[in-house]
Copies of this chain bind each other. A is one copy, B any other.
């Protein structure tokens, strides 16, 4: 587990450990939303990645890059997805795409 995954795991535990039922249920919905359904997991993860880029959330982008790699998304498919997000979200997304392509290379090379 890299630093990102570890911090993510520890703080999720803090949030869930608070015992707030609403937060706990939201986290369950979040996990279930990307599972194979009428649309398959790969398509949903690509949708989650696009949403994360246009909403400009680096941690969300990192998370969905890892999930997409796990679903077999190729580098060329990532670039095609980045392009859709760039056109929809505009140049304001470019700093996030720079960090995204950096992270993508790390994940493809090191598995993390």
Which A residues fall within an 8 A CB radius of B?
A: 7-8, 11-12, 14-15, 18-20, 22-23, 25-26, 29-30, 32-34, 37-39, 43-44, 46-48, 50-52, 54-60, 74-77, 79-95, 97-99, 101-102, 105
Contacts and interface: CB of A to CB of B under 8 A. Distances in A.
Contact of A105 (B14, B30, B76, B97): B14
Taken together, the copies of this chain in the complex come to 6
Contacts of A75: 18
A87 B90 contact: yes
A86 B90 contact: yes
B57 A56 contact: yes
Contacts of A60: 91-92, 94-95
